[in-house]
Structure formats: structure tokens, C-alpha cells
Amino acid sequence: MRYWGYFIGKLAGAAVGMYALWLAMQALLPEPVEFMRVKMGGFTQDLTWTLAYLLYWLLACGVLAFVVWDQRRRCRICLRRLRMPIHTGNWGLALLFAPPQTESICPFGHGTLASPETHTSTAQPESWERHGDMWEELEQMDQRPR
Ligand SMILES: [Zn+2]
């Protein structure tokens, strides 16, 4: 729940920022020109506004892509960025036995994200593996007979 709440919060923050930029654009750019007593529309009829719309659209797509990219690389529990990416698998056995993937881990040990690097027929989904309590596991290792 916290993970998706953070994602919605980031989307809302990005939307507020883009709306503020939209208002600034409306205030700062000159009005579309008047041609033969007809006020031209901004989009596709005025070069300044058309370029402004294009750049605004590109920026909005970039902000949305960044928000999604950043969210996918966060821990599902504590929301910190995942660290220590390692490459596993083997490109020689990529199709069946050991597909190459990148595994990143939460710095506090909450889980591991495995991102496949080969997509044979369709895009392979990322998989999140939640870890147990690592202190409990260490205590169990310490209690083993030696
Ligand atoms: Zn974590």
C-alpha cells in the first residue's frame, strides 16, 4: 500500500509541476497572431505555440517515464532505491536454462528485484522476491551445533 501511495504521490507532484509550467507558458508566451481579423488558434496555426506544445508534450512524457522508471527501481517495503546490481545467468544458455538477468537488492535486505535481460517472445516481467528477517536467519545459523 505504501509503495503505491508513494507512486500516486509522485504522479500528483509531477502533475502539479506540469500544471504550473502550463500556467507559466500561458502567461509568458505571446498571444497567437491575428490574421485578416481572425484570431488564429495556438496549435498548428502559430509556430511559437506549436513549438511550445511540442516541447511541453515531450517534457510531460519524459517526466512520466522518469516517475515510472524511478518507481520500478525502489524497494517494495521501505521505498529506498535498490542497490548493488549484479548480472546472473549465461548468454550461452539464454533461451532455456539460465536466462541472463540483473538482480538488485534493497540496502536493508527487504528483497531482491530480478530484471530479465532477454525477451524471447514477449516482454518478461520483473520479479520481486521478498526476504525474511535476516537477523532471525543469522541467529539460527549461530545456534547450529558445531
Ligand atoms: Zn527495503
pLDDT-derived band of residue 7, with 50, 70 and 90 as boundaries? very high
**CA of residue 55 to ligand 1 center, whole Å:** 36
Produce one character per residue of 26-40: b if its CB has 16 or more CB atoms within 10 Å, e if not.
eeeeeebeeeeeeee
Residues 6+ apart with CB under 8 A from 34: 40
- Distance from residue 41's CA to the centre of ligand 1 (Å): 50
pLDDT band at 18 (very low <50, low <70, confident <90, very high): very high
pTM value?
0.77
Average model confidence (pLDDT) for the chain? Answer: 88
pLDDT of residue 94: 65
Q: What are phi and psi of 87, to 5 degrees?
A: -95, 130
CA 28 to centroid of ligand 1, rounded, Å: 44
Ligand 1 center to 107 CA (angstroms): 6
- Is the separation of the CB atoms in 125 and 115 below 8 Å? no
- Ligand 1 center from residue 29 Cα (angstroms): 45
With CA atoms as reference, report the closest residue to 130 among 110, 101, 108. 110
Distance 80 CA to ligand 1 centre (A): 6
| Residue found by looking up cell 536466462 in the block | 99
Q: How far is the CA of 108 from the centre of ligand 1 (A)?
A: 5
Q: What is the pLDDT at residue 63?
A: 97
The pLDDT of residue 57 is: 97
Q: How far is the CA of 57 from the centre of ligand 1 (A)?
A: 34
Cα 136 to averaged position of ligand 1 atoms, centre (Å) = 17
Alpha-carbon span 18 to 141, nearest angstrom: 52
Ligand 1 centroid vs 99 CA: distance in angstroms?
A: 26
Distance CA 7, CA 19 (A): 18
Q: Is the pLDDT of residue 67 over 70?
A: yes
pLDDT at 83 over 80: yes
Q: Is 9 exposed, middle or buried (0-12, 13-18, 19+ CB in 10 A)?
A: exposed
Task: Determine the pLDDT at residue 86.
Answer: 94
Residue 113: CB atoms within 10 A of its CB come to 21
Residues 89-111: tens digit of each pLDDT: 888 776 677 788 999 999 998 99
